[in-house]
Structure 1
Amino acid sequence: MAVVALWLRYAAPSASRVLEGVELRSRDARFWIRGPRRAQSISEQVAIIAIDDAATQKFGHPLPRAVHAQLVEQLRQARASAIIFDVIFADKGQRPADDQKFAAACRQAHNVFLPFDDNSSRATPPDVLQKLENKLSYPLALPPTAQTLHLQPPIPPLFEAMRGGGHVATAADVDNVFRSAIVLLEAKAVYPHLALDAVRTKWGVAANEVKLRGEFLEVGSHRIGPLQQRPLSRSFQGQQVGQVVEQRTGTGWLVPLNFAGGHEVMQAITIPYLDVLAGRANDRIKDHIVIVGETATGTPDLRPSPFDAISREFFLGVETNATLIANLLNNDFLRLAPLSWAISATILMGLVAGLAATQLRPGYALLSILGAALAYSLLAMLTFATANFVLEMAGPMLSVVLSFGSLTVYRLIFVEREAREYAVALQESQTLLGQYVNERIAQELRDNPTARAEMLIGSRKEVTVIFSDIRSFTAWAERHSPEEVKARLDEYFPIMCEIVSDDYEGYIDKFVGDSLMGVWNVIYEQPDHAERAVRAALSMQRALGMLNDGWRRQKQEEFHVGIGIATGSAIWGSFGSSQHKLMPTVLGDTVNYAARLEAITKETGSAIVISENTYLAVKDRFETRSLGVIPIRGKSELQEIYTVL
């Protein structure tokens, strides 16, 4: 079942997509459980300058670029470490003079970073593409995958005046939630995210010092990743009516974001545009990377994030980019567990579920599986909250459900036919054996599918086994006719079986010649199984005394019986072949031990000998005496044994 879970998780297209959504939602749940982090962890390094309703009401929308020039000058005087505009300036403004003012302010500040439009409606001319590559691309050798390029840089005055820049491309997950950032965009050349280029410059790392090593991006001494590759594309109207053409626009290298919280947390680092212009926020700007973006009502740049279910407000694009900046500066991105870990966890949880389903009763198995699933979930939550490490949840939990569910269904449903056949056989055997099998046992096997399944499939249980044997029976039988032997046993066995089966609700496992073997705690739970066995042994000795009284009066030889009792683990189930079915029985060392203890009764002169485990279970209810530590054949260690007085 673990293999099926892996196939569904990673290979089956439709199922894989659904399970990927489940996995992503489990990651969201971990964000919710962890809760928002302190805004201070972001506010000490990053500030958002909000182009809010107040700014657009005062200056109109879009804001005049002369106003942006004033903003840049104010930020320069406030000593912002980097100024990022999360605003596209691919087209000329309404007033060319304003463009020049804005460009002059950017040139003077020498720390302004502007985005290029990566989804322009216009194809990129070769000369423009060359300028973009020369100024903004990183010299990383990645195979080109783009079929079409629609990149549009800022207008020439701003393009020449800006310190750096990058793309602001986005990539939603299968459920249209934005959880990752595209730090690198391969579109013939390799372009950084706008935020990455600003942070790289702040770190003092040259573009040619940026290296991509395996799944990690190295920016000087800073290591970002592991990164995930994702193909990027856009849809075009085809030549025919209604035709939609999908074309590859490149490859994105994504890193999962570690969100500090929802929209309300980001408000703590947001400064109104007009406050900055008025110089009322200089202390919140000094030595900060500031990012200017749209927050006004009606802005289309809304991006669902993991915290939306709590905050009930979508993240803004500028807030997502501010999160990327903070993650870069703090080096606290989420780290996804390698695929090998996910596969190993899926197989391991499937094995745990399978073992529980086959070795334990369904109720206990369910509790065990729930405990294992809870433990794994707690581990996943702990690693997420303390180490930003994301363990796979969907695959392992699916493996648990499939393994436990399929095996439980098999045990409780598909074995029903064989179980019913066995119940019929058991009723027939009850008729043959008479009182040797009590009604409760038969009823339990008829009505309880769990008991039938355990009996048919096999299960390990703690049991108490009683083994009784008539001493010197072989010699006695040799001195009597077959009719006398049968008559004597027909008188002896029913009484002993009634004590074991009816009086103390044990299961008559088998008869071996003159020996009788009974067992407790196999078909239904008997917490006091050891006590029942000892009481049955005492009753058997008393009943034998009454039988001997009668035989003495008839001037017949008496019987003397030795009884061995052992408590421990044994395997319970039906064993045999499809042609020759056997009655269910118990197997294991505990059974052998009980038989050996019965043999010890002859050496010690005791009627009943019990094992140490049995003694520990009944010592407060019966008077016992230690027979010492005696070596038992087949046992490597010495065993202390006891007799019941």
Structure 2
Amino acid sequence: RIHFAIWKGYGANLPELQASAANAGHFNSLVDDDGVSRRVPTLMEYKGGYYEAFSLAIVRLYLGMQDAVRNNKTALALPKVLTGNAPEPFIRGSYTGLEWLEVGQLRIPVDDEVAALVPYRGPRGSFPYISLADIWSDKVPVERAKGRIALIGTSTPSLFDLRSAPVDKVYPGVEIHANLIAGILDGKLKHKPPYMLGAELLLLVTGGIVLTLLIPMLAPLWATVATVTGMTLITLLDLWLWSFADLVLPLAASVLMTVTLYTVNMAYGYFVETRSKRQLAELFGQYVPPELVGIMAEDPEQYTMAPKSADLTILFSDVRGFTSISEALSPEHLREYINEYLTDMSNIIRGKYRGTLDKYIGDAIMAFWNAPVEDKDHPRNGVLAALEMLRECDKLNKKFTARGWPNLKIGIGVNSGNVRVGDMGSRQRMAYTAMGDAVNVASRLEGRTKYYGVGILVGETTRALVKDVVFKEIDKIKVKGKDEAITIYEPMGLEAEVEKKVLDELKLWHHTIRSYRSRQWDQVEVSLLNLQRMNPGCALYELYAKEVAGKRRSPPPPEWTGVTVFDEK
């Protein structure tokens, strides 16, 4: 069954004009939900009868007159209107199969309401207008209208034949039919057959599935690129069908679907990311800098506080002589003193070198690198952070001296190794921390800095992993709790920044310490005298000079290998 548009009224010629007309047709156009006229029902139903559109009637009349002239006929015969159907196998269910009307050799594509899309050439005035008063007064040359189809209509608002068209808000109804007549005769009508609904649905389903699966997998930038690419492809497909196949594929639903999927995914991603950042900030915010929390939020499932084994670089620092400092300052000044120190040191650890601040133990600091966020340069970052902390102490001392406060001296121990890291503690209190032998060694090294008169001591594992820093070998020691001796070092600075005189001193020192372990006491004493001239007041050289003197008085046993043993922590 064909679903004709059913009308309760119609617009047509006045009876006086119709009496002299060779054909007749209705003026009605279909108005879409947005109030715009885009289609004209080529056939309509009115009170059980079927009437053709004015534009179709003009085309039939034109074709009939052409045939009469061509074949020298005296009687005018109008061509019949025939239906064009899709092949029988494609006609199913509610699909009638009606896709076009045939008038002579012309084919008029129609939709499921037997309406044709109007091929608007442009805004109002795309066809020439001639005043009927000028024709009546013989002001218009005959040649201007000769051999042309002339439509008589109105364009003044007072006669109520103005419509809204896609190309103009105010559009004369007579020009709508002029566009349709020209499109039928030129064969330029666009076609929206009923099966295009299925094509649109297929595009929506296919595009929707692809974008639904693809967008969540991509970063926001690439999701935006994918969405724009999808919209571009849909638009290009629509334009190709419009330009080369004269088919109308609605674009709005596909674009709306694409934009909706993108917006929903971006909004969901934003809220999930915000929630993840908030949760991670609650868990790790006191330990790691905000930028690392942002990195963790990109893949929150990768980061948990559950204990795990990991290779970390651990740093301990402590203020030397804090008891005497606290006795020299009032409680208010002591609070300012320690707060300023801890703030500056924490900024270096967390801010500049992106370390994890484990805890404050009074005036001491514990920090580590490579957890919870992976840091491939964690040994280097730990050593450079320690060097920066010593330089910052010099800056703080200038401020403290100006205030009349005691000078600040700190010792730092740095060590690398495999430890257990995660949320650990008791049922009453948990903390994200690191535990293990490498942690204990780092703490012992910090405690030995005062003995050797240096600011930083680094374990041999860390030393082996850092390639662009100059190190000074200090000693081989056995710390409490470890049976094996470890070699300890003092970092002097980046290779590109260490002065030549320091390198010359290091060369002599390393020769000296080899002589020391070989019990060449005379050679060691001479070298130490030269070193003390190069660096007067160096506590390390004074320490070794005392050690040599002691070993001259009480020679070490034959099995002595130059290892210093510490029984205390």
Name the TM-score class by shorter chain. Answer: 0.3 to 0.5
Greater C-alpha Rg: 2
Question: What is the TM-score with the length of structure 2 in the denominator?
Answer: 0.46
Q: Which has the higher contact order (CA 8 A, sep 6+)?
A: 1
